[in-house]
């Protein structure tokens, strides 16, 4: 039995999900051998999943999204690092109810990448998602040695809104170590930088951006890409249109500019976490996340787990807080059956704080249905 589930956002981490599912299974089959492999798709929770898989947790002090000091972590095993931008520039780092769509910066994410280099990493998985930012990765690049100046030759301010005043860009001072590092951008979105499917239009509202803010940010990011085109040539425009450039408020674009290759987050993370050998040992796979819905089918962790398991001929069931997919859609994704907590407690106000005990109950149901 393999439990490979993502977090239930707002209630349980991926590690806690695995613990609760294991406890519920063993209520019915006490001697059951259960292997747990918490997973993530590159967004928040990616470092925690790597640590659960045996990576060492390293903590550093970096600049948060609104300029304050925060403690952020990356994961290291040998010369491979897993860096999660949300640790330094994530929405969860903002004060409750406070957003900064025009001014939030990715500077701390650059500091986090630099810390991974300082720790000896020669291969970096850069998970992006859950960001508070829409600055096209300009803050990250500045932390790594790039210069973004206004018409007076002064550094532009933090955040995507300030990029409207960008007059020149100089990437010649970027940390030279990236020339010898394998940097892989792990993201569950393939949006370009700008336009109707760009990061401001699609994800800006989640970060507090008004319709006017979205227009401002999209125009500023388009201007940013044009200035970069003058600095480094047509590659800047090509990368802005590339899949993944719009990841996490455009930090994907910044990563591509320093030589990152793009891979869907869950595919990459399954490789890094050692999913294939664990899958070989499994007879049944349990995956899941807080909400199984249309988004799940587009690169989220349960879909990646189910696809890999189906290719290996293994049955998959899913646990979730809320189920918004028809059985046909689940089947097409390779999931035989889903067990939502809402079937036991339909009121989210009660289900979310009691997700752990409810998850144990549905795991017991899985054991009775598939192991008895």
Token code pair at residue 135: 């600055």
Q: What is the four-CA torsion angle of 341, 357, 302, 40, rounded to 10 degrees?
A: 140
Of 333, 355, 306, nearest to 9 by C-alpha is 355
Residue 245 included in any domain: yes
- CA-closest candidate to residue 238, choices 200, 201, 192: 192
Which residues, in sequence order, are CB contacts of 129 under 8 Å at separation 6+? 41, 42, 43, 44, 85, 86, 187, 188, 189, 247, 248, 265
- Which structural domain, as residue segments, surrounds residue 361? 2-37+282-370
Q: Is residue 366 domain-resident? A: yes
Query: How far apart, in whole angstroms, are the C-alpha atoms of residue 93 and residue 328?
Result: 38
Q: Is 324 left (phi over 0), alpha (psi -120 to 50) or beta?
A: alpha
Rounded to whole angstroms, how far apart are CA atoms 57 and 84? 12
pTM: 0.91
Of 266, 298, 314, the one marking the end of a domain is 266
* Residue closest to 2 by CA, chosen among 218, 291, 306: 306
Question: What is the Cβ-side half-sphere exposure of residue 355, based on CA atoms within 13 angstroms?
Answer: 24
Report how many domains make up the chain: 2
Give the pLDDT score at 30: 96
Q: Would the CA dihedral through 129, 131, 136, 138 be positive or negative?
A: negative
Residues 135 and 14 in one domain: no
Nearest by Cα to 319 from 20, 1, 10, 43: 20
Do 258 and 288 belong together in one domain?
no
Strands 80-84 and 69-77 turn out to be antiparallel
pLDDT score of 49: 93
Q: Which of 114, 4, 129, 139 is nearest to 58 (CA)?
A: 114
Q: Give CA separation, 71 vs 109, 115, 130, 192, in Å.
A: 12, 12, 17, 30
Question: Which one of 213, 241, 266 terminates a domain?
Answer: 266
Q: Is 98 exposed, middle or buried, given 0-12, 13-18 or 19+ CB atoms closer than 10 A?
A: exposed
What is the reported pLDDT for 363?
98
How many CA atoms lie less than 13 Å away from 123 in the CB half-sphere? 6
64 and 121: one domain?
Answer: yes
Distance of CA 334 to the CA centre of its chain: 23
Q: Which of 236, 266, 296 is the last residue of a domain?
A: 266
Same domain assignment for residues 179 and 316: no
137: CATH? 3.90.1510.10
- Of 129, 137, 104, nearest in space to 9 by CA: 129
For residue 298, what pLDDT is reported?
82
Residue reference for tokens 């970060």: 207
**Does the residue 277 lie in any domain?**
no
Helices 14-28, 355-370: crossing angle, 10 deg rounding: 50
Nearest alpha-carbon partner for 66 in 31, 24, 103, 98: 103
Are 163 and 304 in the same domain? no
Residues 157 and 90 placed together within one structural domain of the fold:
yes
**DSSP reduced 3-state for 216:** helix
Low-confidence ranges of the chain (pLDDT < 70): none
Pair 290, 262 in one domain: no
For residue 97, what pLDDT is reported?
83
Domain match, 260 and 352 both? no
66 and 207 fall within a common domain: yes
Angle between helices 211-232 and 247-257 (to 10 degrees): 0
Return the CATH number at 340: 3.40.50.10350
Residue 211 shares a structural domain with residue 336? no
- Cα 305 from Cα 84, distance rounded (Å): 20
Judgement on whether residues 151 and 65 belong to the same structural domain of the protein: yes
Looking at the structure, tell me whether residues 189 and 234 fall in a common domain. Answer: yes
Cα angle for residues 133, 157, 218 (degrees, 5° grid): 50
Phi, psi of 6 (to 5 degrees): -90, 180
């Amino acid at each position: 039995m393999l439990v490979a589930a993502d977090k239930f956002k707002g209630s349980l981490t991926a590690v806690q999900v695995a613990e609760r599912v294991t406890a519920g299974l063993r209520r019915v089959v006490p001697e059951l051998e259960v292997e747990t492999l918490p997973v993530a798709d590159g967004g928040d929770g990616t470092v925690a999943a790597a640590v659960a898989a045996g990576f060492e947790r390293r903590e550093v002090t970096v600049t948060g999204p609104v300029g304050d000091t925060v403690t952020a972590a990356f994961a290291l095993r040998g010369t491979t690092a897993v860096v999660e931008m949300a640790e330094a520039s994530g929405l969860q780092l903002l004060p409750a109810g406070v957003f900064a769509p025009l001014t939030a910066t990715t500077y701390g994410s650059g500091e986090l990448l630099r810390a991974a280099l300082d720790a000896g990493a020669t291969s970096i998985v850069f998970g992006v998602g859950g960001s508070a930012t829409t600055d096209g990765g300009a803050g990250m690049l500045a932390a790594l040695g790039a210069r973004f100046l206004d018409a007076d030759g002064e550094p532009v301010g933090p955040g995507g809104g300030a990029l409207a005043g960008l007059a020149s860009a100089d990437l010649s001072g970027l940390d030279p170590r990236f020339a010898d590092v394998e940097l892989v951008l792990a993201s569950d979105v393939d949006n370009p930088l700008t336009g109707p499917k760009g990061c401001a239009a699609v994800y800006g509202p989640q970060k507090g951006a008004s319709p006017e803010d979205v227009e401002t940010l999209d125009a500023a990011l388009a201007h940013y890409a044009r200035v970069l085109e003058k600095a480094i040539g047509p590659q800047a425009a090509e990368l802005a249109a590339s899949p993944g450039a719009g990841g996490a408020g455009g930090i994907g674009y910044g990563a591509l500019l320093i030589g990152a290759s793009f891979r869907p987050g869950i595919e990459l993370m399954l490789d890094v976490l050692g999913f294939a050998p664990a899958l070989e040992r499994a007879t049944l796979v349990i995956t899941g996340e807080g909400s199984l819905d249309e988004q799940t089918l587009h690169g989220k962790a349960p879909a990646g787990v189910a696809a890999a398991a189906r290719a290996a001929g293994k049955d998959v069931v899913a646990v979730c807080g809320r189920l918004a997919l028809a059985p046909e859609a689940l089947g097409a994704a390779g999931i035989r059956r889903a067990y939502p907590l809402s079937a036991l407690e339909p009121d989210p106000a009660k289900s979310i704080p009691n997700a752990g005990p409810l998850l144990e109950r549905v795991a017991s149901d899985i054991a009775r249905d598939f192991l008895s």
